[in-house]
Every structure is written in C-alpha cells, then in structure tokens.
Amino acid sequence: MLATSNSYSNIFLEHKRLFLDSTVLIDWAARPSVDAAFEDVQREYSLILCSASLLEVGFGAPGKAAAREVERAKSLYDLGLRNVVDSLVLHNLALAKRRTPQMCVYNPTAHEWYASRTHLLALVAEQKLSIEAVRRLMLDAIVYTCAWNARAAIVTDNIRDFMKFNDIQKRLPSGVPRHLPMFTMADILSALNSEVSYPENLAGRA
C-alpha cells in the first residue's frame, strides 16, 4: 500500500492513480519479469503513461535502441490511440465515481505545456539553474505537470530531478509543503507486501 505523511499529498493518492515516468517504462521493458508485479499493482491502481515518453523510450539510432524498448514505445503509441485521457477526462471520471482505466495514455494539453515552461523558468530564477540545465529537464517537467493535473503519484527512478519541481511549489499557510508524492520502482514492488510512505521513502535518495 502507498501512503503519505504529508496531508496535502493525499489528494494525489485518493484516486489510486500512478503516473509512470519514462525511466520506469524503460526498466519495465528491460525486465519483463516484473510483468506479474505490475498485474498485481493494477488490481488497486490505474497506470497512466505520458505520450511525451515516446521521445525517450526506445529512442535511438536504427539497430542501436534496445528491441524491447522499441516494442514498449510501439505499445505506448497503440495504447494512446485506443485509451487516451487528459485532466478533463479524469475529472469527469472522478465526478461519476468511475475508476480510471487500468492503463491509459495521458496527452498533455496547451495548459500543461505552458505550466511546464513556467516550472522550468522558476528553476532558473529560484534555484539558479542554467538554461542548458533546465533544457535537460523538459520532459521531466511535462510528466510532473501532467501527473499533478491527473491527481496521480509519480513513479520514477529519477527522484533527484523530479524533486526539483516539488521544491519550487509554494507552501500552504500552515507550512505544509505542496508536494506531489513520488515513489521508485522498488517502492512499488515493496508496496505489494507492506506500506510505503512518502516522503519517508526518499530518505537518503533525493
């Protein structure tokens, strides 16, 4: 079971949605042995993939990209043609008290691209990152923003970069940080048998 000790972060867990980063899709493609584990995860959580991950998963010169990653990219594309969602679709599902599809692809809207731009420029202004550094975070920014609007927790093995976006979120008047909860692939596997809580799961990782 996934949990959080951050009162604000609860809103990202109540709909039982997990937003998978490209690093997880790549790892999953390399380790088909975790297929069974993800089947168990889907009994309780819906898995959301971002269409922007097509620019990372299986991306490489012909004959150089891992064959399983290329197949994962193709399946992501096919799923996006059949089972696509955005923030409005997910909001309407929640209003109707209907479960999110077990696996679906999230298409970023213009609002999310613009919000991602705003987040990246905030990293330049507040954390003094260079433009070159934030360019390397562009796809992370869109995944983070889409997960936020999808009210989903992020699953990633790139915690350090994603936490940069949590760090620029303004705190509530009570002082509680407005954090989107994040879990690693290892956390998801552990949560099949025990409780894993954010942000305690990130101790020593971020």
Residues 4-7: contacts with CB within 8 Å, 24+ apart?
Answer: 4/181, 4/197, 4/198, 4/199, 5/197, 5/198, 5/199, 5/200, 6/176, 6/177, 6/179, 6/181, 6/198, 6/199, 7/176
| Neighbouring-strand partners of residue 105 | 49, 84
Per-residue pLDDT of the chain (206 residues; tens, 9 = 90+): 899 999 999 999 999 999 999 998 888 888 877 888 888 999 899 999 999 988 888 777 777 778 888 888 888 888 888 899 999 999 999 999 898 888 999 999 999 999 999 999 999 999 898 999 999 999 999 999 999 999 999 999 999 999 999 999 888 788 888 999 999 999 998 998 999 999 999 987 65
Q: Is 98 buried (19+), middle (13-18) or exposed (0-12) by CB count in 10 A?
A: exposed
Closest CA relative to residue 7, chosen from 195, 184, 189, 178: 178
Distance set, CA 69 to CA 73, 81, 189 (Å) = 6, 19, 21
Question: 104 — phi, psi (to 5°)?
Answer: -150, 170
This prediction has a pTM of 0.91
